[in-house]
Structure 1
Amino acid sequence: MKQSLKNILSLLFFIISFVCLFVLIQTKHIWGNVYIEQILINLADGVLQASNKLLLGYAISAVLGIVSAIAFSLFIKQNKYLVLISSFCLAFCLYQIGIFSYIFHKTVYTKLYEQEYIYPQNLTYTFSNQKRNLIVIYLESIEENYAISPNLSSNLIPHIYAHMKTHLSFEGFRQLKHQDFTAAAMVESLCAVPYKHSILKGHTGYQNYLANLVCYPEILEQNGYQTVFIKGADIDFAKANLFFSSHGFQTVMGKTELEQKYPAYPLKENKGAFSGYSDEALYEMVKLELLNLNKSNKPFALGFITLDTHTPDYHLGKSCTGTPFNKEDVVRCADTLLANFLDWLKEQPFYSDTTVFVLGDHIETGNNSLYPKEKNRKIVNFVLNPSPVFPEKPHTAFTTLDIAPTVLNALGISFGQNGFGLGRSLLQEKQTLLEKMGYKLETELMKSSKIYDSFETVKINTEPSYHLYAPFGLELSTTAEISRFATYSNKILDAVFLSELSFSLPETSANSLSLSLKYKIMLASKNKRSIKVVANGQIVDTLVVTNKDIQPLSKTIAIPTNLLNQNKLLLNFEDEEPLAYSLPIGILSLKLNP
């Protein structure tokens, strides 16, 4: 009986190791060299659910692994050899995905953030008198080598390359190990920090990720911009909707939201890669969105990402000639669609007041099948209508970390240190971190950091200067927005448990501040509960709720300005129960008015 159990366990171990080996082969075939962080992020984000082709490919690989293991095991008579081969296969797989390097770097802390990170919330932003509109176009997997590779018979992106040669374009757009997938490109280009996964923290996707970080769309939103992000596929994939909405984008739309808003473009008739909208339809809906935004007298910032060139679901647009699923034809089509969109854009009345930033999100994952041996691959980028305030400065190497400060400068916005997060503006002379450190930067970014941990934990710096500047009229309408101002916060269901909110306020001659709250207090086993609202150490009101109240409730509290200390406001919420450590209050909105 014991021998039979050993045989079964040895065979099971052998099968598992072969399945891992075949899945690794399939992964490398599709994605090239991948690393454990990228695997964990994509598994947590449900990448296999995004494409039936991907799911089928991995299912076939698993079956082949099982069949091969069983067939091979017939020739191995001793369990110790099965275990030995299994151990070797698993160790090889783990080595190939960088698990040993990942574990090592998780135990080593970098000083990079202490030495180089520039807190965006501590900067003073100066806008030009006429605020410029912004359009950021992320081109899926489009690299400069499509134009210049000697292994191609022709330039696949003639329009893009022409713009790179005739408009502002930055040399040396490099990709580091952790920057080779879209989620990383989004976080890094918007927030100027890497996108990392922590097994111990167990976060999945963006949902509780970097809640305490300040990204450049938040700066624009705080200064009167209409902010929109559009994606042709599911916007909740990788919890992108939660990340974008909590970091400055007022409107976030994916395929479901687009179909609801623009029914003239039904998804069924305009389907592209990964069961999302085709890039053709996406561009048309972006045009409509831009026309709507232009109706307001406020500046706008709109970002969107294409998808039809994403491996392995290449999609050829209806208006393009060529062979479906042929990579060269799909890339040519992407170039043509962008050119047509830019031609339309240049005819619009708002174009002269609009800066357009075009960039690839990353190079194609793995070794590009069109030129598999090329190593020196660079990402496309160019800028139309940059502000003349900051002329181009020569740079030799940069990464997606440097996009955020460069976008702000391209809009004519100055902010003192010429850096934002770990990014350095390419329109300033200050070296980028890649220029300064070389590829040592890659190693340092892989290490752990206490400052980085503070971006995603509920505990943040208690100094008000580290909190995002809160002007009069600020309204916080999501739990993520509220948590950014909290010394301690925790989200359970739809309620935010918090103890203190911290704000920096401008000079004011008003006699009082008006604090408007919508809230609901959890009564638990009690029939009545009281919460004291304390402003800079003085009780200004008490929130009382009984089990007869219909919640949520609304209340406006007047806070005398003489309570403000150096234009800082600390709001504490004190529970009457001595064992309560924080306020169990679900705040829907918070507004400060003079």
Structure 2
Amino acid sequence: MSDRIRALTRRVGSVMGSTLVYVLIWAGLVLLIAALGIRFYWGKISVNQLLLNLISVQVDGGGGAIVWIGVVAIGVVPLLVTGGIALLRYLRRRKRRFGRHMQSRRSARATRIVCSVAVAAIVVAGSSAFASAVGVVDYIKAANSDFDLGDYYVKPIVTDDEHKRNLVLIYLESGEATLADGQLFEKDAFAPLKEVTTSSDGWQSIKGLQEYEGGGWTMAGITATQCGVPLKGMGTVSGNAALNELGGVIDTYLGGATCLGDVLEDHGYTNVFLGGADASFAAKDTFLRSHGYSDVKDLNVWRAAGEPEESIRDWGLSDERLMAHAKDEIDELHAEAARTGQPFNLSVLTLDTHEPVHVFDYCPVDTEDAATSVFSCSMAQVAGFVSYMEEKGYLDDTAVVIMGDHLKQMSAGSAFHEQLAASDNRSIFNRIWIPGENPGSTLRPDVDQMNLYPTILEAAGLTLQDSEAGLGVSAFAPSVSSNSAQAMMPEPYAELLNSRSEQFYATAWAGQDAPQ
């Protein structure tokens, strides 16, 4: 009986050992392929970016081709490879069992050592590559920080709205100012937009506008400039069941933070958002509706309105057609505002310059690198919208803020990788128009995206207590308070932005007022 038990134990142990080996091979391949894909499409990202972009992933109007590539490369290929290895090992053992393959003990031991080393190499390579691609080390270091955003967060207090005005907010996808450098690129991609937003006509800009530490994707740019806080999510909110369910639907998005749309809504604004992509991608629609936007128009709306498929790419509607809709929208909003006396906020997010860029029929390619022409064509469409507002007289009572949502991503497969890698002075393109503002006035330079939140509120004509909101101080303020996060030295400020701040985000995601 004992011999049978020992034999059974050995057999069970052998099966469990083999299963563990195959699981390790599969896991190592998944991590390795995922890391290679991340590096190719996005460059180095963060854990927060990874998790928050897995919320409501779409296969249409949200990088569907990339999603399907990911499903095949990460979900199918590792299974096939692991299954193939298992099958080869089974056939090899079967040959030995029937005496058709003779192997010495020394050779068998060498084979086992080689296989063990190979499995270990796959696991180590996959784990290391993935950890590097998503910044796991930085994520762990952030958990050990003593800083907490709640110690610096300021809920905006509006002291006067007598001079509130209409607001148009335009986000330029990957709108990096470096792309205006004619020495690095074939031509100045921003030339069309720069021509209609000159300082001599009264347009202003923040010199050296920086992407915030830890940012670098669209939703991070939106929450930074509209809420004044870094975007962090599931890793710090273990109690939020919706956020912990990958691909699940969430009811609110940073509902405890007071954001741009909330403040504007409280002061009588109608908030409308226009975008070419499916707004449910990364839960953008949930964010907007959680923060005062009453109308969110996206790819689904444009398709229902009869937009032809030639005006739509994988990511969504072309900027040519988006700006045509923006003209119609501002006509309606301005007329309603004139009738009721209640202002509006029209927020627009461009799309054509999202990687991989797509050349629509409206865009003539006159550069060797098609991406340069696409950027120029997109800026020309935005410039056309600005000119339209000027022709209609809307700029007489409407503030306009134009800015990139983040720097151009530095991935192995993206355009301009080599040129941007050679630049040591990268910043975000921006232009600000305030009716009646004196030409030549300057804004505080070298600020990051956190400071755009109070800047936009003040551009809309609202007076803020101490010019503060979130972690930011308005760029219209010449100096900052010593108690502000903006008064910190660069290294501790970067640590503050990267800190997990678990209590702050737990209450913010739970829909409670963020601590201050």
What's 2:112 paired with?
77
Alpha carbons of 1:273 and 1:392: their partners in 2 closer, same or farther (altered >3 Å)? farther
Alignment partner of 1:270 out of 294, 311, 314 = 311
8 Å CA contact 2:186, 2:372 repeated in 1: no
What's 1:456 paired with?
509
Please give the alpha-carbon distance, in whole angstroms, between the structure 2 residues aligned to 1:108 and 1:43.
Answer: 26
Please give the alpha-carbon distance, in whole angstroms, between the structure 1 residues aligned to 2:353 and 2:59.
Answer: 18
Q: Cα offset for 1:155? A: 1.5
Amino acid at match of 2:147: T
User: Percent identity at matched positions?
Assistant: 23
Q: Which runs of 5+ in 1 are unaligned?
A: 467-594
Amino acid at match of 1:455: A
Q: Cα offset for 1:393? A: 4.4
RMSD: 3.1
Deviations 1:296-333 (A, max 9, x none): 22221110101111112x12232220189931121111
Q: How does 1:324-339 map to 2 (within 5 A)?
A: 326-339=370-383
8 Å CA contact 1:402, 1:425 repeated in 2: yes
Please give the alpha-carbon distance, in whole angstroms, between the structure 1 residues aligned to 2:46 and 2:278.
Answer: 24
Question: Is the aligned partner of 1:286 residue 2:326?
Answer: yes
Q: Cα offset for 1:220? A: 1.7
What's 2:45 paired with?
34
What's 2:5 paired with?
none
Alpha carbons of 1:354 and 1:91: their partners in 2 closer, same or farther (altered >3 Å)? same
SS in 2 for 1:125: strand
Please give the alpha-carbon distance, in whole angstroms, between the structure 2 residues aligned to 1:452 and 1:4.
Answer: 45
Q: How does 1:184-199 map to 2 (within 5 A)?
A: 184-199=220-235
What's 1:514 paired with?
none
Question: Is the aligned partner of 1:382 residue 2:431?
Answer: yes
Q: Cα offset for 1:47? A: 5.5
Q: How does 1:91-102 map to 2 (within 5 A)?
A: 91-96=127-132, 97-102=134-139
SS in 2 for 1:277: coil
What's 1:441 paired with?
493
Please give the alpha-carbon distance, in whole angstroms, between the structure 1 residues aligned to 2:513 and 2:72.
Answer: 46
What's 2:93 paired with?
none
Please give the alpha-carbon distance, in whole angstroms, between the structure 2 residues aligned to 1:81 and 1:179.
Answer: 38
What's 1:362 paired with?
406
What's 1:13 paired with?
24
Question: Is the aligned partner of 1:125 residue 2:159?
Answer: yes
* TM-score with structure 1 setting the length: 0.70
8 Å CA contact 1:392, 1:427 repeated in 2: no
- Determine which structure has the larger helix proportion and give its number: 2
Deviations 1:14-52 (A, max 9, x none): 232023112211210110111111111112231566223
8 Å CA contact 1:142, 1:361 repeated in 2: yes
Structure 1 stretch 96-105 or stretch 186-195: which is displaced more?
Answer: 96-105
Alignment partner of 2:467 out of 418, 425, 439 = 418
SS in 2 for 1:45: coil
Q: How does 1:167-566 map to 2 (within 5 A)?
A: 167-199=203-235, 200-202=238-240, 203-204=242-243, 207-260=251-304, 263=305, 265-274=306-315, 276-296=316-336, 297=339, 298-312=342-356, 314-322=357-365, 326-367=370-411, 369-370=415-416, 371-374=419-422, 375-386=424-435, 388=437, 392-431=441-480, 433=485, 436-449=488-501, 450-457=503-510, 460=513
Q: Cα offset for 1:109? A: 4.2
* TM-score with structure 2 setting the length: 0.79
Alpha carbons of 1:357 and 1:206: their partners in 2 closer, same or farther (altered >3 Å)? farther
Please give the alpha-carbon distance, in whole angstroms, between the structure 2 residues aligned to 1:390 and 1:195.
Answer: 35
Amino acid at match of 1:196: K
Amino acid at match of 1:33: K
Please give the alpha-carbon distance, in whole angstroms, between the structure 1 residues aligned to 2:469 and 2:425.
Answer: 27
Question: Is the aligned partner of 1:53 residue 2:106?
Answer: no
Alpha carbons of 1:435 and 1:396: their partners in 2 closer, same or farther (altered >3 Å)? farther
Deviations 1:163-185 (A, max 9, x none): 56522010111113432111111
Q: Cα offset for 1:89? A: 2.0
8 Å CA contact 2:255, 2:290 repeated in 1: yes
Amino acid at match of 1:58: G
8 Å CA contact 1:209, 1:456 repeated in 2: yes
Q: Cα offset for 1:257? A: 2.8
SS in 2 for 1:382: strand
Q: Which runs of 5+ in 2 are unaligned?
A: 1-10, 90-109, 244-248
Alpha carbons of 1:394 and 1:373: their partners in 2 closer, same or farther (altered >3 Å)? same
Aligned length: 454
Amino acid at match of 1:77: R
Amino acid at match of 1:126: D
Please give the alpha-carbon distance, in whole angstroms, between the structure 2 residues aligned to 1:461 and 1:118.
Answer: 9
8 Å CA contact 1:143, 1:363 repeated in 2: yes
Please give the alpha-carbon distance, in whole angstroms, between the structure 1 residues aligned to 2:398 and 2:329.
Answer: 15
8 Å CA contact 1:206, 1:240 repeated in 2: no
8 Å CA contact 2:471, 2:486 repeated in 1: no
SS in 1 for 2:160: coil
Deviations 1:347-404 (A, max 9, x none): 1133211111100101122256321523432111001235539984453322221111
Please give the alpha-carbon distance, in whole angstroms, between the structure 1 residues aligned to 2:21 and 2:391.
Answer: 69
Please give the alpha-carbon distance, in whole angstroms, between the structure 1 residues aligned to 2:71 and 2:271.
Answer: 41
Please give the alpha-carbon distance, in whole angstroms, between the structure 2 residues aligned to 1:403 and 1:387.
Answer: 20
SS in 1 for 2:293: coil
Deviations 1:155-202 (A, max 9, x none): 122123445652201011111343211111111111111110123235
Please give the alpha-carbon distance, in whole angstroms, between the structure 2 residues aligned to 1:273 and 1:162.
Answer: 31
Please give the alpha-carbon distance, in whole angstroms, between the structure 2 residues aligned to 1:149 and 1:443.
Answer: 35
Please give the alpha-carbon distance, in whole angstroms, between the structure 2 residues aligned to 1:267 and 1:244.
Answer: 27
What's 2:3 paired with?
none
8 Å CA contact 1:386, 1:410 repeated in 2: no
What's 1:89 paired with?
125
Higher relative contact order (CA 8 A, sep 6+): 2
Deviations 1:103-132 (A, max 9, x none): 342354424431x22112xx2331234x32
Please give the alpha-carbon distance, in whole angstroms, between the structure 2 residues aligned to 1:460 and 1:190.
Answer: 16
8 Å CA contact 1:390, 1:412 repeated in 2: no
8 Å CA contact 1:113, 1:422 repeated in 2: no
Deviations 1:538-570 (A, max 9, x none): xxxxxxxxxxxxxxxxxxxxxxxxxxxxxxxxx
Please give the alpha-carbon distance, in whole angstroms, between the structure 2 residues aligned to 1:89 and 1:218.
Answer: 46
Please give the alpha-carbon distance, in whole angstroms, between the structure 2 residues aligned to 1:372 and 1:266.
Answer: 35
SS in 2 for 1:13: helix
